[in-house]
Amino acid sequence: MKTSLKSKIGLGFIILGFICPVFGLIVPLLGFSSTVTAALVTFFLVGGPEILFVLGGILAGKEGIQLVKGKIKKLFGLPEENYPATSAQYKLGVICIVTWFILLVVPGYIPNLFEMPFIRENLLYLSIGTDIMFIVGVFILGGNQMITKIGDVIKWQPWQLPLKK
């Protein structure tokens, strides 16, 4: 697949957005004043990645998404074209997404959950694991059906009231 320069620049911004927090770890070692250090660390950890993701998404567009999707599918040994998921594969993907959502929402309602020693000591690993479970559920297990359904939820569609009898 031949990609345009605009899509490559957009993907570069997205990659830079992922790497941006590493720069936040390097800033304190540069010897700036505490005010400048705090501002730069905040930008690299909070504002910078979001700005770069939005710019990258705008520039990469659908072409960039198709390129990344093809590379990820190739990495997992899946066919690059759209493929239907089996019933069991789709159900497992839905279970992964629901589990991810529950693990994302429940701690907000049970604040003492994070005080459990196991969760407090392994919070980073649990967060990474649940995010990976979501990605696997949507993009690998769910197949084209899952991506299409999520796209339909996000996309605005005209709606008409049912006719009265």
- Provide the 3-class DSSP secondary structure of residue 32: coil
The DSSP secondary structure of 116-155, one letter per residue, reads SHHHHHTHHHHHHHHHHHHHIIIIIISHHHHHHHHHHHHS
Residue at 165 is within a domain? no
Token digits for 113?
Answer: 């959950």
Minimal CA–CA distance to 1: which of 62, 91, 83, 76?
62
Residue 35: predicted pLDDT: 93
Residue at 55 is within a domain? yes
* Domain end residue (candidates: 78, 102, 135): 78
* 57 plus 129 within the same structural domain: no
Residue at 127 is within a domain? yes
Global model pTM greater than 0.75: no
* 72 plus 140 within the same structural domain: no
* 98 plus 143 within the same structural domain: yes
Residue 1: predicted pLDDT: 55
* 68 plus 24 within the same structural domain: yes
Residue at 47 is within a domain? yes
Report how far residue 92's alpha carbon sits from residue 77's, in angstroms, rounded to the nearest whole number.
Answer: 19
Token digits for 138?
Answer: 């949507």
CB neighbour list of residue 66: distance below 8 Å, 6 or more residues apart: 1
Range of the structural domain that residue 7 is part of: 1-78
* Domain end residue (candidates: 78, 110, 136): 78
Task: Report the interhelical angle of 143-154 vs 87-109 (nearest 10°).
Answer: 50
* 13 plus 74 within the same structural domain: yes
78 within 8 A of 30, measured Cβ to Cβ = no
Token digits for 6?
Answer: 């605009």
119 within 8 A of 58, measured Cβ to Cβ = no
* 94 plus 71 within the same structural domain: no
* 74 plus 3 within the same structural domain: yes
* Domain end residue (candidates: 29, 46, 78): 78
pLDDT tens over the chain, length 165 residues: 567 888 888 888 888 988 888 888 899 888 899 999 999 998 888 888 889 888 988 888 878 777 777 777 777 777 667 677 788 888 888 898 898 888 878 877 877 777 778 877 887 788 888 888 888 888 778 777 887 887 787 788 888 888 887
* 21 plus 55 within the same structural domain: yes
* 1 plus 74 within the same structural domain: yes
Residue at 66 is within a domain? yes
The domain total for the chain is 2
* 88 plus 123 within the same structural domain: yes
Report how far residue 114's alpha carbon sits from residue 105's, in angstroms, rounded to the nearest whole number.
Answer: 13
* 72 plus 91 within the same structural domain: no
